[in-house]
Homo-oligomer: A and B are copies of this chain.
Amino acid sequence: MSDQQLVRPVPISGFPEWTPEVRVVELHWLDTIRRTFESYGFCSVETPSVEALDVLMAKGETSQEVYTLRRLQADGDDTGDGRLGLHFDLTVPTARYVAQHFNELVFPFKRYQIQRVWRGERPQAGRFREFTQCDIDVINVDQVPLHFDAELPRIVHEILTGLDLPAWTININNRKVLQGFYEAQGITDPVGVIRIADKLDKIGYAGVERAFADELGLDKDQITACLDLAQIRGTDSSVVDAIDQLGGRSELLTEGLDELGFVLDSMSDLPSGSVLADLSVARGLDYYTGTVYECKFTDAPDYGSICAGGRYENLAGSYIRRNLPGIGISIGLTRIFAKLVADGQITTGASCPSDVLVVVPSDERRQSAVRTAAILRGRGLNTELYHQADKIGKQLRYAARKGIPYVWFPPFDEGGEHEVKDLANGTQTSADPHSWQRAAG
């Protein structure tokens, strides 16, 4: 042991790290997300962690804090790494990727991207400086089929159903409905209405009503119509009828209602309550142009969005002179996962992926144990071989501490009898490594 001064390792605020048993659950989340994305045929894309600063800033100064890179031993001859910044989302890299590889991609380009992103936030509780986003997008030349407006929330629905989560709802709206409806009411600043209506959660109906009058000069009928619209909720296309009954007609409104109706009809087979048309959902409307999504925990709105997204125009306009609209949803994995961990809402179990521990009762039986482990592994079972001949009690405790569900006793000789112990109930039975199945569930 050296006498040198120790460097005491401490967690770095905003950079989450998990112990193995929590990581097992996070991996299950990541696997569920990836598997579902792929089951719909979306391809994987990864981009470098960095982009050139002019790419990151192509739309003007971003509101996100960007981390730039600097070589520790940078000298006068520094070759410009300071012009590289860690990406702060996956949208900018995707836009750049599609522009750069335009001629190599098949459109509609259906991709998912699961990667870490970084934001140069001041250290602060609950603020992540490194976190994983899981994005799925469809980008096409000139026009994206409405098919995807319905497919993306179905994919998210399938993912969330596969995770062990508190109750959640996918809220759907359509920006054309909002904008078309406001225009039909003779309102000249529909974006202003949307901006104010988006504060409903914070300032309530009275506050919104006041802002409509004071800030936008809306009259009483207009205010009533806007508030009536924002209160409409529904799980099927009956919401279209409800909006119709508020009156007002415009081409944009008709288009939006057709789209919203199509999406809701397409999802009518999903369990009741999991998808909800919510005409109060607005979401950053400088960006979105049609269908918008926002998914939240039903009973914990303070968690913020589990995921969000929608339709947008001209993704890569800063990099290429092609019209490339898209639609996408982003799952904020780390933010949600870390909060559930902190709140004790994540159930952990094993700290390793092993299905079986094969014990080594003595050096004489080691070869028999080696062979048994190889047979089980060959059948797709994750199998640990205990690392030395030792007392059985010690090996059983090792399995129990790691949460390995089965302990296997290899035979004394080649033709002998195998036994397997189920640690959940303590039963030990004879078994054939070539055909043994673990208990269901």
Contacts and interface: CB of A to CB of B under 8 A. Distances in A.
A67 B58 contact: no
Interface stretch (A44-52, A168-176, A290-298): A44-52
Contact of A352 (B42, B151, B318): B42
A228 to B, nearest CB: 34
Given A8-B319, A38-B382, A69 B120 contact: yes
B44 A20 contact: yes
A110 B354 CA distance: 11
Contact of A145 (B67, B317, B382, B387): B387
Interface string A206-250: 000000000000000000000000000000000000000000000
B1 A23 contact: no
Contact of A130 (B15, B49, B96, B377): B49
Interface in A1-37: 1-2, 4, 6-12, 15-20, 23-24, 27
Interface stretch (A77-85, A253-261, A335-343): A77-85
A13 to B, nearest CB: 9
B69 A106 contact: no
Contact of A9 (B68, B147, B319, B370): B319
Contact of A318 (B6, B18, B120, B320): B6
Contacts of A145: 387-388
A435 interface: no
Given A6-B321, A319-B9, A17 B48 contact: yes
Contact of A40 (B39, B82, B377): B377
Copies of this chain present:
2
Interface string A144-156: 0101100100000
A383 interface: yes
B130 A48 contact: yes
A367 to B, nearest CB: 10
Among the interface residues A20, A54, A65, which one has the most CB atoms of the partner chain B within 10 A? A20
Contacts of A370: 266
A323 interface: yes
A289 interface: no
A375 interface: no
A156 to B, nearest CB: 15
A171 to B, nearest CB: 23
**3 shortest interchain CB distances as A-B pairs:** A41-B384, A15-B48, A71-B120
28 contacts: A1-B321, A6-B318, A6-B319, A6-B321, A7-B318, A9-B100, A10-B52, A11-B100, A12-B84, A15-B49, A16-B48, A17-B46, A19-B101, A20-B43, A23-B44, A39-B380, A41-B357, A43-B352, A49-B130, A66-B71, A67-B81, A68-B71, A68-B72, A106-B351, A106-B402, A110-B352, A145-B388, A148-B387
Interface of A: 1-2, 4, 6-12, 15-20, 23-24, 27, 38-55, 58, 65-74, 79, 81-82, 84-86, 96-97, 99-101, 104-106, 108, 110-111, 116, 118, 120, 122-123, 130, 145, 147-148, 151, 266, 314, 317-321, 323, 351-354, 357, 370, 377, 380-385, 387-388, 398, 401-402, 404
Given A19-B104, A23-B46, A106-B401, 17 more contacts: A1-B323, A2-B314, A6-B320, A7-B58, A17-B47, A19-B105, A39-B383, A40-B384, A42-B352, A43-B351, A43-B352, A48-B130, A49-B116, A66-B72, A70-B70, A72-B85, A106-B398
